[in-house]
Amino acid sequence: MSKRALRSTAAVALMRATARHLRIWLLAVGLLTGLAAMASAQTFTATLTGTVSDPAGAALPNVRVVAINQGTKLEYTAQTSDAGVYTIPFLPIGTYVVSVEASGFKKLVSNPIKLEVNQIARVDLKLEVGEVSQEMTVEGVAPVLQTESTTVGQVITGNTTVNLPLNGRNFQQLVLLVPGAITPNPGGFTGVGLQGGQGRPFVNGNREQGNSFLLDGISVDETIDNRIGYKPNVDAIAEFKVETSNSSSEFGNVTGAIVNATIKSGTNEFHGNAFEFMRNDALDANSWSNNRSGAPKQKLRQHIFGATFGGPILRNKVFFFTAYQGTEQRTGGGATRTVTPIEWRQGNLSNFATPIIDPLTGQPFPGNIIPQNRIVNPVARALFADPNLHPLPTRPGTSNITGNYVTSTANELDGLQLDGKIDARLSDKDNFMGRYSIGDFNGKGIKSGLPTDLTSSSFNRPQNIALNWTRTFSPTVVNEARIGFNRAVFITDLFDTNKLGSGNGKFGIPGTQAIPGISTINMGNGISIGSTGIIEDNVTNTFHYGDNLSISRGKHFMKMGGQWQRYQQNRFYPGNNGLLGFFTYDGRFSGVAFADFLLDQLAQKGIGSRTGTWGHRQNRIGIFFQDDFKARSNLTLNLGMRWEYTSPVVEVKDRQSNFDIVTGKQLFAGRDGNSRALYKPFRRGFEPRIGLAWTPAALGNKLVVRAGYGITQYMEGTGSNLRLPLNVPFFSEADVTFDRTSGPGSITRGFTDVIVRDQPAGNIRVWHPDLRPQFTQQWNLTLEYQLGNNTSFSAAYVGHKATHLVAPTDWNQPLPDPGPPSTWRPLQQRRPLFSVLPLVTQISGTDSWAISNYHSLQVSGRKRYSHGLEFLLSYTLSKGLTDNLGYYGSAGVASQGAYPSNAYDRRRDYGPAFFDATHNFVWSGTYDLPFGKGRAWGNDWNRVANAILGGWNISSIISLHTGFPITVQATDVSLQSPRGGGRPNRIADGSVANPTIDKWIDIAAFALPAQGTFGNSGVGILRAPGYANWDFGLSKKFNVTESKYFDFRAEFFNFTNHPSFNPPGRNISDPTTFGRITSTISPPRILEFALKFHF
């Protein structure tokens, strides 16, 4: 037969096999769609797969393959199919030796193979003719390349986790090591405890809420604000994998990263460690802003201590592992605040170039000086008359007032956490794993920075349970069942440490108060006092049930199953306006915000209310089918389908209401034919996944080409502030805006004229009846090349297109009247629902109309630990675009508002995402210096020389990225009260040729638009400074015996003490701060000492 005929026959056979496979696949999808019992699919184990062949390369069917875990000596078996293919799923991560026995062939035994979280490791085995009693050992087996899956991601090994310098010992900081992951707020990843370290990455152009954090396959997410409910001790983590795009159909309800961690397990040997990490501010540098203001260093006393211990209960049968970590932190010391300059207290605002208009005459005040008899605001009079309430600046002058008062603060935090895990071989066919984790953290502010401030407290007691049972029915059929529970507790409160009592009354603000303190008073131009009074009582429970079934048939490895998560969300929240409320002056009446404050020309005020706890309930259900089909020996197809359903949210006692956005009618849950949720369910959640991995033989199997496409859906939580229980009669929140059509408000009325409890008024919540999950199309094309047995490099094009992102929406934004703006009616009368809801001002609405797009080049390199060196590098060149930032935003950016800048022209906000950085580079690694016993040089040194010169290790994390977008703002003059705030007209570029910290952007490039119009300046038109940071570690091992040693470490965070700056001021209505950088996003250099004992 000719070669052409052979190729044609092979092609026909491949097409027939593919068609047969597709029929099986579609049939399975149809069956699964009708399943009533749901199950879990968050795999945290590994899979071993490959082919067994004879010396000529022919497949060997019905051959027994055994993988032996070298830590526990437990055996896991499989049998090759008719095509010679074997697959061993659900392997606990660790080191394995693979053996094969077949009649007529020598027994084959592999070298030790390290398997990682969620890895599908391909190991092809070729037997030699001989007797079974003869043994052949294969060396150099190293499944480095990802040849069986098209998922984009990276494994973070246990060696990396415990040896890199981690500021705050927060494991989620390591997520930033992978391509496509970034944060504008690195400080969110370095705080200790739960409240202080809630940073989550922005991954591949997705919002941070789209991530999913798993521990042993069970979610640890808090489900209202999607915070991390439990963070394991890093010494307890075996390793974790970060999947950033094109996950298999096993995974759902995520658009960003799946962070899949697993706790260590015990082995046949007793192992553990004890550790202490210590910080003292005497070893640290002062911050850039404190140095600039002449403030002393901040206080820092921190101790993180604990131990891990694991081993056998019954050798080769039952194993245990436990971990404890305690935390003690005392912070505070030198700090700066911004207080009113002496000149401004006297009405002398002559440093402002903007003419200050007298609202009584319409003419400028001569010299921009407001006479004393015109300073009518009672708060100004009381505040400036008593320096004990509002201290005088320690740095005089009006040119740069930010941080002009040196003060001190004090805070304390105490916490502990405990993990316990059992692994058991119940029988030759049954394996069990159980784990319980708990934490307890208490934080409290002892001293505030200003006499008018409140301090806060926090309490967290997370708990997480995972139970896992794996049953082997046959060498080709394995089932994994899982039950889990996650409880996240976030409770905060406020303390009147300065004995303010009913502070509003002392300042001439009438009305009663729910709690002691002073309402937030935003005087403008960077000065404010008081507290809004936002507290929370947040307890969420997630019940997790599931099952995975895997079947190996011929060239197919099929998985099927699903998940059922039951959410209980119990929350008290006073609304974003808080229990004390706020008063804001922004310059819309006189031209300068602080002048409006002195003249009591109020722009906005609002206050929430105290009500009972409400309880939301929800189910998230997903079923999936996945087939990994080995079309050829070097070509694997990944075909999957997932269906997900997120039930509408209901309140346990139907204490919620919605509004018809057309008629204004209030709709109550479970009444008058309304559903309990008050919006429609969405059941079209089909998510196909397809991919291929091809390893061309021409390059010696050193290159793999992967391509993947898939759809994933995600129903983002709206936080607490937009939930439907926050409507009358269950809750009320006042929020009133004043402009030139309505005339200014006055602080002398307090909130007495806006608090309404018996009918819809102020700020109401509305969910669109067709609210639905977002759909994200993800794709990647990846090339990965292997160098040696331990190193690989990859280059990938990764992108997404997302629609129906959840977005805050105000359906009651005032409309313009015809004619000149001076003739327009007051803004309240121009609201669309004024005729039916005359007291309602804003609508805090929830809808799903936003979009995002992302394109990137992602380059990565990884060297697995060998010869003392392990490293991971990543570089991302990307562009992310969106028309809405979501509900949360981030610190460290100068972004647009959460709501549209014009509710009737949402697409005008389409532009760079606020977390978009064009270039992002991260290198991390550890290196055992090659000196001393057991290393390249000095193996014959004496004990003294080895104790001094041997056993050293260095480690580093180097992070560099370009700046984030800047959206320029201005006082709103549209007379249409947009929730997204005002923007100027852009009349020039705005960038500066040689930017400095005092002039980063050019104010002359912008101007206020005409009254009644929106400015044309877009989103993200300029860029903030970039970021550079180097964390460095140096450690020394002191051996007691061969298996016992001390490890002394010194870790330097921001090793070079390089300041990375926050964005500059960007509101043209505040020329004193516009374009000026006044703070850093990076901390000063911090030194930490640690001592570990390993045994």
* Domain segments of the chain as ranges: 35-143, 892-1029+1055-1095
Neighbouring CB atoms inside 10 A of 1040's CB total 11
Position 1042 scores a pLDDT of 84
Gap between the Cα atoms of 218 and 234, Å rounded: 17
Residue written as token pair 């409320």: 581
Backbone angles phi, psi at 374, to 5 degrees: -95, -5
Name the CATH topology of 35-143: Immunoglobulin-like (2.60.40)
CB-based burial of residue 1056 (10 Å sphere; 0-12 exposed, 13-18 middle, 19+ buried)? exposed
Task: Return the pLDDT at 196.
Answer: 66
Tens-digit pLDDT profile for residues 419-439: 999 999 999 999 999 999 999
In whole angstroms, how far apart are CA 230 and each of 64, 156, 474, 942?
Answer: 41, 19, 37, 47
- DSSP code for 506: H
Q: Are 204 and 245 in contact (CB under 8 A)?
A: yes
Rounded Cα distance, 229 and 776, in Å = 25
Q: The whole model's pTM is what?
A: 0.91
**Tokens (6 digits) for 162:** 């415990």
β-strand 455-460 against 477-495: which pairing, if any? antiparallel
Please provide residue 38's backbone torsions phi and psi, each rounded to the nearest 5 degrees: -100, 160
Interstrand relation of 135-138 and 107-110 (parallel, antiparallel or unpaired): parallel
Cα–Cα distance measured from residue 1080 to residue 290, given in angstroms and rounded to the nearest whole number: 11
Q: In the chain, which residues have pLDDT < 50?
A: 1-41
Contact between 105 and 84 under an 8 Å Cβ cutoff? The reply is no
Q: What is the pLDDT of residue 463?
A: 97
What is the Cα Rg of the chain in Å?
31
- Which amino acid is located at 644 in the chain? E
Give me the pLDDT at residue 632, please.
92
What is the structure's pLDDT at 42? 53
